[in-house]
Amino acid sequence: MKKYLLTLPNLLFVVLLGVVIWPYSELAKIDYYTKNPSKLHEPTVFLVVLVLIHIYYLVQSRRNNKYRVANDIATVVYLLLLAWELVTMKFNIVSRIYIYFPPPENIFYVFFSDYKEILTGLVYSMRLLVIGFTLGIFLGVVLGLVVGWIPRLRKAVFPIAKAVSSVPALVYTPYVVMLMPSFIFASIFVIFLGVFWPTFMNMINRVGTIDHKIIDTAKVLNTPLHTTLFRVILPYTLPRIINNLTVMISVAIMTLTAAEMLGSNSGIGYFIRKYSVMIDYTRTIAGILFIALVVTVLNWLVDLLKKKLVRWDY
């Protein structure tokens, strides 16, 4: 028990709580531009988040094999937060820095004060993301399966696909946004392309280089073509598809947020752009942190999917 109590993260957690609760200079509360006390200055949300982080750490560190890793990660996170808190709130090093580097209390408070706008944006963005992403993965997998299976088609399509897919979707995003009748179409389209090409290429490759023993086995078992494609080759390629999902999610988020910064009026990318234009960096950073959170949750879902679907590849 003693071993658990006297850890570095526990110590840092207590110090951090103390520092946040400790009185700070009144100057820090003043908004640089308006010269009025900042409406966002409210440490409760930050304190709640800290407690949640610590509970999560405590749960993770109780798992035998995770003890050291959980300790190291928590230590790094707490040190960063502590440094951030000290530089901004406590020592208020230069008030001019303050607008560029808002204190953590303010940023976490945005999640509470602006939750409606953030959630609306999330729903808006997720709708585009899910549609574009699903279409891209689905068509990439099915077309890749068919093209990869027929050698003549594969040899014809592969070099073309390779050339086209080497251009990142991000590059032609502005053009597509301008070209398409509505922003929704445009962003779904660029997300689709961003996800489709790599998935398609990967599928062709994987199907083309499939272990011939697998195919021979399917043949001698008298497996018809459609069963071979969807019940032999598809499961064979599934681990690769799922491993790529993590990368694909990053690609999709990247193209989506880029598109939103160009021509949207809602969404998580739009949130960041809107407030950075307004020089409200507290909300800008809150938006950035929020995207990080969303990507983390999505990746965590992919991991769950992986454990469920491709148990055999571990």
Partner 1 sequence: MSKIETESKRNQESKIAVEHLRMEYTSNNKNFLALEDINLNIEEGQFVCIIGPSGCGKSTLLSVLEGLYTPTGGDVRINGIPVDGPGRERAVVFQHYSLFPWLTAKKNVSFSIAQVNKNIKKTRADEISVEYLKKVGLEDFIEKLPGELSGGMQQRVAIARALAVSPEILLMDEPFGAVDAKTRVVLQELLLNLWESDGRRMTVVFVTHDIDEALLLSDRIIFMGPKHIRCDIPVAFPRPREKSELYATEEYAKLRVELVNMFYDDIADKIDIEGGWL
Please report, as ranges, the residues that interact with partner 1 according to CB under 8 A.
211, 213-214, 216-217, 219-224, 227, 231-232, 235-236, 238, 310-313
> Nearer Cβ to partner 1, position 152 or 311?
311
Give yes or no for a contact between 161 and 204, defined as CB atoms under 8 angstroms apart. yes
Residues β-bridged to residue 30:
37
Amino acid found at 36 = N
Nearer to partner 1 (CB atom), residue 113 or residue 223:
223
Q: In the complex, what is the shortest distance from the CB of residue 245 to partner 1, in angstroms, rounded to a whole number?
A: 17
CB of 217 to partner 1, least distance (A): 5
Q: Residue 214 class from Cβ within 10 Å (0-12 exposed, 13-18 middle, 19+ buried)? A: middle
Nearer to partner 1, 184 or 232 (CB): 232
- Give φ, ψ of 37 to 5 degrees: -60, 135
CB of 244 vs partner 1, minimal distance in Å = 17
Give the residue with the Cβ less far from partner 1, 87 or 234.
234
Give the 3-state DSSP-derived string for 49-60, with helices as H, strands as E and coil as C: HHHHHHHHHHHH
User: Is residue 267 a contact partner of residue 128, using CB atoms and an 8 Å limit?
Assistant: yes
Of 2, 98, 103, 97, nearest to 46 (Cα)? 103
Tell me the closest approach of the beta carbon of residue 208 to partner 1, in angstroms: 18
Those residues whose C-beta lies under 8 Å from the C-beta of residue 110, and which sit 6 or more positions away, are: 40, 118, 282, 283, 286
* Residue 270 and residue 260 in contact, taking contact as beta carbons nearer than 8 Å: yes
Q: Give the residue with the Cβ less far from partner 1, 73 or 238.
A: 238
Place of tokens 């990368």: 247
Our CB check for partner 1 shows the closer of 62 and 231 to be: 231
Residue 306 beta carbon to partner 1: minimum distance, rounded to whole angstroms: 13
Q: Which residues pair with 37 in a beta bridge?
A: 30
Question: Smallest distance from the beta carbon of 122 to partner 1, in angstroms?
Answer: 35
